[in-house]
Amino acid sequence: MRVMIAGKSVPINRSVFVDLLENSVVNGRAPYIQALEKSKIPYTDLLDLARKAEVPHPLFFAPPTVVQAQLRAKTSKLLQGVAPETFTVNTRTTVKLRDVELIVKDLLRKQDLARKHDPTLVKNKIVGLLRKPRPTIREDAEALINALGLDRDAIRQVRKKEAALELIIKRLEANQVLVSRSVRGYMPQLIEVHFSGMTVRDSKVPYIFLTGGDHGDFQEPYGRQIFTLVLMAVLVARGIFAPVSYDANSTAPDAGREYDIVGEILMPAAEMQGIILQDPDDVKAAADLFKVTPSALAVRALRLGRLTPLIASGYLHDLEKEFRARNKTNRTNQPKPVNAIRKYSGRELTARMLRAVEERRLSQREFCRVVCLNRIGTGDLGELKAALR
């Protein structure tokens, strides 16, 4: 393969070119595909692909043995935080490492920054809390609720599910479980696959990454995100760190222990026994009470024997039909940069690192590079601090 530099042809190893880019975010881009077809690439295109894939461009001119050693080191680093297998519940969806590679690397950098510059961090008490199952699902659920300091009544008393989501995030971050939410344009890569999120390993500051948008299962977003967030909190407590995908509409009989722990946390079996579920409107009312989606409520009722499979399937069909019929408005307004940074990096990580800047343990420039991905400058840090209040 040849690289065209100022009209001259410089040979590179084709296998090196493929190994460096095939499993990256640029593997479907036109310059990469054209280069494979023509066995040549302009140097400017090579530089652009290398930058987007976060590959040091001198590696393209290195011997294959050197490149393979670098790739093994990169993979080892990534797998310290995220296992290659997708954790799935009732779905066959899988996520390849390249689909989330740059986000994983970015969250690992943020974890490194926190460990280096925040002396108040302690060993996380949530990580591994449920690694050894207790005798019952209820005992596992109560152990996690107590450790996080979750207040079920406080969650149910808020009017909107969005506010309930924020309450749960606040309790997770109060226990050094950082939460990152996807914000288009403020992440190091676009998400081009449907999945729920992922958990990223760390003994002090594990990250939960929560995706947004349409998951293709006809669920209203905040109720789905609440269930997903609690599911990933359970995975952190179980010591499972991987991309997460689940089918929120599935009535499969064996959803797994983690799924049932989430159900017990958000919709306790004892309280579900007294809920009337004679029609879809009852299901929606109960879902509003427990701050979940109506579909999640119906599936939970099925698993507890409160609904028969036939009735549950009928409710789910009616709920999906109703959801499809809603008038949907596409939000095109981008959030203010400081709000987008707060959402993607997470309030807790951002606040802790701003404090490190104020105490001169971290430079403003490094903060802007790692926490803000250079989306704002040092002159905007005051506005970012105000956005955290």
Instruction: Give the model's pLDDT for residue 214.
Output: 54
Counting the structural domains of the chain, the total is 3
Decide: residue 193, CB within 10 A, 0-12 exposed, 13-18 middle, 19+ buried: middle
Q: Left (φ > 0), alpha (ψ -120 to 50) or beta: where does 260 sit?
A: alpha
pLDDT tens digits for the chain (389 residues)? 999 998 899 999 999 999 999 878 788 889 999 999 999 999 999 999 999 888 999 999 999 999 999 988 888 888 788 988 888 877 777 888 888 888 999 999 999 999 999 999 999 999 999 999 999 999 999 999 999 999 999 999 999 999 999 999 999 999 999 999 999 889 988 887 788 899 999 999 999 999 976 555 556 789 999 999 999 999 999 999 999 988 777 776 677 899 999 999 999 999 999 899 999 999 999 999 999 999 999 999 999 999 999 999 999 999 888 888 875 655 557 789 999 999 999 999 999 999 999 999 999 999 999 999 999 999 999 999 999 98
Q: Whole-angstrom Cα distance, residue 207 to residue 170?
A: 14
Instruction: Give the model's pLDDT for residue 328.
Output: 61
Shared domain for 216 and 163, answered yes or no, is: yes
Shared domain for 139 and 66, answered yes or no, is: no
Instruction: Give the model's pLDDT for residue 216.
Output: 53
Decide: residue 165, CB within 10 A, 0-12 exposed, 13-18 middle, 19+ buried: buried
Tokens of 323: 């959801």
With respect to residue 325, please indicate whether it lies within any of the assigned structural domains: no
Shared domain for 59 and 88, answered yes or no, is: no
Shared domain for 104 and 213, answered yes or no, is: yes
Shared domain for 219 and 97, answered yes or no, is: yes
Domain end (from 269, 299, 317): 269
Shared domain for 116 and 42, answered yes or no, is: no
**219: closest CA among 244, 243, 247, 242?**
247
Which residue range forms the structural domain that includes residue 170?
83-269
**Residues 228, 244: contact at Cβ < 8 Å?**
yes
Alpha helices in 206-256 (DSSP H): 221-238
With respect to residue 295, please indicate whether it lies within any of the assigned structural domains: no
Tokens of 247: 């089918």
Q: Whole-angstrom Cα distance, residue 273 to residue 276?
A: 8
Domain end (from 250, 269, 288): 269
Shared domain for 180 and 50, answered yes or no, is: no
Paired sense of beta strands 197-200 and 178-181, if any: unpaired
Give the full edge-to-edge strand order of the sheet including 243-246: 87-89, 243-246, 197-200, 207-210, 178-181
Which amino acid, residue 175?
N
With respect to residue 223, please indicate whether it lies within any of the assigned structural domains: yes
**Residues 47, 35: contact at Cβ < 8 Å?**
no
Shared domain for 92 and 189, answered yes or no, is: yes
Shared domain for 66 and 91, answered yes or no, is: no
- What SS3 state is found at 93? coil
With respect to residue 113, please indicate whether it lies within any of the assigned structural domains: yes
Domain end (from 253, 269, 285): 269
With respect to residue 92, please indicate whether it lies within any of the assigned structural domains: yes
With respect to residue 104, please indicate whether it lies within any of the assigned structural domains: yes
Shared domain for 95 and 36, answered yes or no, is: no
Shared domain for 209 and 352, answered yes or no, is: no
Shared domain for 122 and 235, answered yes or no, is: yes
Provide the whole-model pTM. Answer: 0.86
